[in-house]
Amino acid sequence: MTTDSAAPIAPGRPLRDAVPAAPAAGTLTPGTPVVLGLLVVSTFVVILNETIMNVALASLIADLGITAATAQWLTTGYLLTMAIVIPTSGFILQRFTTRQVFLTAMSLFAAGTLIAALSPGFGVLLTGRIVQAAGAAVMMPLLMTAVLTIVPAGRRGSMMGTISIVTAVAPALGPTLSGAILSAAHWHVLFWTVLPIALVMVALGAWRLKNVTATVPAPLDAPSVIVSAIAFGAIVFGLSSIGEATGGHAPVPPWIALVVGAGFLAWFIHRQRHLARADRALLDLRTFATPTFAVAIVALALVVMTLFGTLTVLPLYLQDVLGTSALTTGLLLLPGGVLMAVLSPVVGRLYDRLGAGPLVIPGALVLAASQAGFALTLGPGTSPWVAMALFTLMHIALAFLFTPLMTSALSPLRPELHSHGSATYSTVQQLAGAAGTAVLVALMTTSAADGPGAGEATGVHGAYLGATVIAALAVVAALVLAGTDRRTHRALTALTAR
């Protein structure tokens, strides 16, 4: 239920009573659309910003006089910060009110955007990106937790359809917006374009946003914060360095970072399982005891790997092999994002009626078909229209995947696990995005033949063979999810009917 304030829960009160359960009735409470609208638009902006640099790196290299390996830190630093902050969002969302989290996060994002817009050189620009990421990291967990708290179970599919626009369409639109701006203006304008929107969201949030979750006096386990920062930071750094390592430019061998990250991750998991017994975990992993959540998270990771790998490899192919401009590249990627924006709410309503199985199985099959199409058709003489058609087909598949995966993962969780489920979902999404990019770029680099054009096309072919394998595994995960989701969806439908 939407409230004007969220008073802290008295010490000693059971955690299961701390977060109000979402209403079972089919109608939204007054004020809910305003809250969700603010959160959706704000989250869309911060995720759009995550991929806005993809097309701009060439301009930055030339303007700032830096190497490609140095420029890549504008993306790697952003991802590292996200990977460090997101695991703490479960604690943040329990300890602080909706307004406190939103205003702090969006203020940090706006401040980072201003720093980047004013930056005279690489160092200040990187600082701005890191501050941006510190604010952006908690926006998606905040949005998903709010939906689980105030949206009736029988309408979550429709709302998650809207969130799917944020999680998948925004990354696709980032290169388009960037290409359009860079064709007519300096790269600073990218940040000057985003800044007014961020400031408007801060102002609207201060004016209209209500608190929709109760606070819990959750303790902060400082060792868990340190261990998670090292674990997730090292993993993302190692994955992001794979592409540089294949070209001989990695400052640290990726395997060292990955081994360190894996060791600290094992320590983090062990510590969280121990702390969860006393409801003191920084990231409560009891969410994985829910079978639908566990299977949906695996399927999500495979789908996100495919998406973010393609969002990196395909622009490189279009510009380096086919010679398209940044603006043309962005425009070729636009129809897929637009079509997904149209389909996602429709798929959400279908989920409320049918459950995950009838949607994710055909979605995963079409996703695998699109990746196989890339592997079989992309070459030095391929028409850009073929690439655009396959990219659009991929986004049709994604429309049938993201909404059911989000909803079937998070809806079965107990209310006290909503914030931790949202944080885990976002953490896995971030790690999978970095992994997908690393795997496909590494495959592209290592399988490229000598010689311009044809050699790079051979590398793209190798990358998409790998993407086809990943998508095929997503088909298997979708088949398993269809079975585990069936009973859960029936139970939630019955709850809403009462």
Q: Domain span at residue 90? A: 29-497
When mean pLDDT is compared across 109-123, 175-189, 278-292, the lowest value belongs to: 175-189
Give how far the C-alpha of residue 397 lies from the chain's centroid of Cα atoms, to the nearest Å: 17
CATH of the domain at 268: 1.20.1250.20
Whether the per-residue pLDDT at 479 is higher than 90: the answer is yes
> Looking at residues 86-99, what average pLDDT do you find?
86
Residue 65 lies in a domain: yes
Is residue 8 in a domain? no
Task: Return the H-helix or E-strand segment holding 23.
Answer: none
Asked whether the CA dihedral 111, 116, 120, 125 is positive or negative, the reply is positive
Give me 214's structure tokens: 């109760």
Domain count, the chain: 1
Cβ–Cβ under 8 Å, residues 167 and 127:
no
Is the residue at 207 inside a domain? Answer: yes
Predicted pLDDT of residue 469: 95
pLDDT of res. 17: 33
Residue 146 has phi, psi (to 5 degrees) of: -60, -40
Cα separation of 374 and 467, whole Å? 9
Question: Using the 8-state DSSP alphabet, how is residue 287 labeled?
Answer: G
DSSP label at residue 12? T
Does residue 204 register a pLDDT over 70? yes
Helix axes 32-51, 170-182, angle to 10 degrees: 60
Q: Specify the pLDDT at position 309.
A: 86
Residue type, 483: G
Residue 267 has a pLDDT of 95
Cβ neighbours for 433, distance < 8 A, ≥ 6 positions apart: 79, 304, 305, 307, 308
The pLDDT, as a whole number, for residue 264 is: 94
The 10s digit of each residue's pLDDT in 367-422 is: 999 999 999 998 888 899 999 999 999 999 999 998 899 888 888 888 888 888 88
Residue at 449 is within a domain: yes
Mean pLDDT value across residues 43-47: 87
pLDDT score, position 278: 81
One-letter amino acid for residue 424 of the chain: T
Residue 5 lies in a domain: no
The band of 211, judged by pLDDT with boundaries at 50, 70 and 90, is confident
The pLDDT tens digits for 409-426 are 888 888 888 888 888 888
Structural domain contains residue 22: no
Instruction: Tell me what the pLDDT averaged over the chain comes to.
Output: 82
Q: Answer yes or no: is pLDDT of 19 > 50.
A: no
- Give, to the nearest 10 degrees, the angle between helix 384-410 and helix 326-354: 40
Confidence at residue 152, expressed as pLDDT on a 0 to 100 scale? 78
Q: What is the pLDDT of residue 2?
A: 35
Task: Kindly state whether residue 136 falls inside one of the protein's structural domains.
Answer: yes
Residue 11 covered by a domain: no
Q: Which residue has the higher pLDDT, 29 or 260?
A: 260
